Chain A
Amino acid sequence: MTEHYESVTAYPDGSSTVSRYAKTAANYGYDGIVVRTRDADYDAEAIAREYDVDVVSGIEIVAETPDSIAGSVGNFRENCTLLLVRGGTNARNRYAVETDRVDVLTQPMAGDGNFNHVLARAAKIHGVRIEFDFGPVLRQTGGKRVQALRDLRKLRELVEYYETPYVVSASPTTHLWLRAPRELIAVGEQIGFSASQITEGLVEWGRLAERNRERADESFIEPGVTRGKYETE
């Protein structure tokens, strides 16, 4: 059973609340959503009860320089399940892929950002997921879309060759821009991805969330080692 997750920008950064995303996501066949917005106000348990969608608390760090990202990583790592860092410049991409505490590097190719074999290898070593941002493919036209497609292709070739872990997102800022998994697969196939790659990218969000939740659990000591029934304080 594969569980599809999508990551969303909720109110106040986006124009839909977390619960509305959850309602739409449930309708589209998602099993969970990752909230990127730090200031979003929601009750994950109530949403899970009402719509049967797992809500993962995430924080996307959007900062100018690696120095300020580093400060935010320290501040927010404890407060969220998934920590995302917005890329988009070479310095930010480099910092994100070399930091173990970061889970996902988002939009690495946006703006002036670029990606290469060094970053792809570093991301694999440090377990940082690279995001394939389908937003521009779904919502832009003309030259900007052509550039976005070209960037996605470059990123895909690197990720395939170096077996870098990755996630896929349509990066919606309103629930209207959510797209169902089958739609993302269909679009992905048109632009050169395979169906299994897209599925893998959507499932990876959930897998990451589960891993981090397990690590944050009190009984966790290290991977494969947990506090059993014979352990006492």
Chain B
Amino acid sequence: MKHLPKHIRPRWRYLAVGIESTPDATIDRGAFQRELWYAAGNLLGDPGSADVDLTVYIFQFEDGCGEAIVRVRRGETDRGRAAVACLSEVDGEPVGVVVRGISGTVRACEESYLGRRTGAFEQRQVVFADAQRSAFSREDAVEVSVPAGFVSATELDFE
């Protein structure tokens, strides 16, 4: 179909979303998009969800840490932000999400808020809760493997 003349095209805003999860979580774009739409549908209802849009544009996630660009309609950014905040799990893995910023173009959004990727995990042994345990560390964040899953700590806990 012929594209719309410029003055009548919808205006968009792009949310830069930081994503964090457990070290062994594998979240792909499809799963993230599905959960985001579920969250929006549940919080805002179908009409609200359709108004806000919330299409995932850029998505990357690796080693328990990632980022995404989510498109929302201009003027609906608050509702978009609320829907993003209600995302608590993807495929049963708890996720932390934060809106780092909002831009008017994908490019500006990428340049201003994305690309904060940090290095890969380093595996090592730590003493935690009176036992030697394996852990994944990255910068000052340390994920300690315990029988019930992971405990998230920082270097300060091992000094």
Contact = CB atoms under 8 A, between A and B. Distances in A.
A184 interface: yes
Q: How large is the interface on A (under 10, 10 to 19, 20 to 34, 35 or more residues)?
A: 35 or more
A186 B78 contact: yes
A46 B95 CA distance: 27
Contact of B96 (A17, A43, A177): A177
Contact of A17 (B81, B85, B151): B151
Contact of B20 (A47, A176, A187): A176
Contacts of B159: 46
A17 B142 CA distance: 10
Contacts of B141: 20, 23
Contacts of A23: 140-141, 154
A208 interface: no
A23 B118 CA distance: 15
Interface string B28-59: 00000000001000111000000000000000
Interface stretch (A59-67, A80-88, A134-142): A134-142
A11 interface: yes
Interface residues of B, number: 35
A16 B151 contact: yes
A156 interface: no
B98 A183 contact: yes
B4 interface: no
B96 A24 contact: yes
Nearest to A188: B82
A163 interface: no
Contact of B86 (A28, A46, A176, A187): A187
A110 interface: no
B94 A17 contact: no
Q: SS class of chain A's interface: helix, strand, loop or mixed?
A: helix
Contacts of A142: 42
A189 B83 CA distance: 12
B44 A174 contact: no
Interface string B116-159: 00000000000001000000000011000000111111101101
A175 B21 CA distance: 10
B79 interface: yes
B79 to A, nearest CB: 7
B85 A184 contact: yes
Given A28-B98, A139-B88, A180-B98, A189 B78 contact: yes
B16 interface: no
Given A19-B156, A175-B96, 8 more contacts: A16-B151, A17-B152, A47-B156, A50-B156, A142-B42, A176-B20, A177-B88, A189-B78
Interface of B: 20-22, 38, 42-44, 78-79, 81-82, 84-86, 88-89, 94-99, 129, 140-141, 148-154, 156-157, 159
Interface of A: 11-12, 15-17, 19-20, 23-24, 27-28, 42-43, 46-47, 50, 137-139, 141-142, 145, 174-180, 182-184, 186-187, 189-190
